[in-house]
Structure 1
Amino acid sequence: MFGDMMGMMGKLKETQKKVEETKKRMDTVLIDEKSSDGSLMVTVTANREIKKIDISNELLSDKEQLEDYLILTLNKAIKRATSVQETELAAVAKEGMPNIPGMDSLFK
């Protein structure tokens, strides 16, 4: 009984380490998102850190449109980054979880 418990604890610690490594790796995963007309492009990491904003010169003359494009494009990029991060972390967590009946549905 205690051997199983120790094995599970070891596996959980290993999984925790893998989760931390995955979080660090997400800093290197870059996600590009463009506005509908391509006049604005943003790059964020999978950890939702903005790395780059590229604005066309034409868009600089219309402050209101630029603001709207920034909001829409950044929100789309952040949504995609969140999805990538959640998928990666769920895969690591599922891989490291002990086989407990009924827990499979938590990591789909």
Structure 2
Amino acid sequence: MFEKLMAAQKQAEEIKKRLDTVSVFGEVEGGAIRITATANKAITAVEIEEEFYKQADKEELEELLLTAINKALAQAEQVSSHEMQAATQSMMGGLGGMFGQ
């Protein structure tokens, strides 16, 4: 039983490492603002087109940045949930023997 739990923990750590290598994006205004994050919800880049930046006012820029960040984080959550769900199903198959299934 302990070995199966250790294997499950190792698999979770591997998934976390893999999610660090998956990039997700949030864009607004047709890509004028683009946020890049990992599937572990770490923001890795913020890009704002220079022309858009010159024309936008502070409040508009702040609001659009929040929207783009939230889009990127929502996409990261979706990817992370999908990976964890797949791993959980795989682990439950392996742990079934512990419960007499």
State whether TM-score is above 0.5: yes
Match of 2:59 in 1: 64
Give, in angstroms, the shift of residue 82 of structure 1. 0.8
Larger fraction in helix:
2
CA shift, 1:99, in A, is 2.6
Kindly report which structure 2 residues correspond to 1:18-97, keeping only aligned pairs within 5 A, or say none.
18-61=11-54, 62-97=57-92
- Count of paired positions: 93
Question: What TM-score comes out, normalization by structure 1 length?
Answer: 0.77
Q: Is the 8 A contact 1:26 1:85 kept in 2?
A: yes
Gaps spanning 5+ residues in structure 1: where? 1-7, 101-108
TM-score for both structures, normalised by structure 2:
0.82
Native 8 Å contact 1:40 1:54 kept in 2: yes
Distance 2:68 2:27 in 1: 6
> What is the CA-CA distance between 1:64 and the residue it aligns to?
1.5
Once residues 25 and 82 of structure 1 are traced to their aligned partners in structure 2, the CA distance between those partners, rounded to angstroms, is 14
Q: Which residue of 2 aligns with 1:16?
A: 9
| Identical-pair percentage | 38
**Cα distance, 1:13 vs structure 2:** 1.7
Show structure 1 runs of 4+ deviating over 3 A.
none
Root-mean-square deviation (CA, aligned residues, Å) is: 1.5
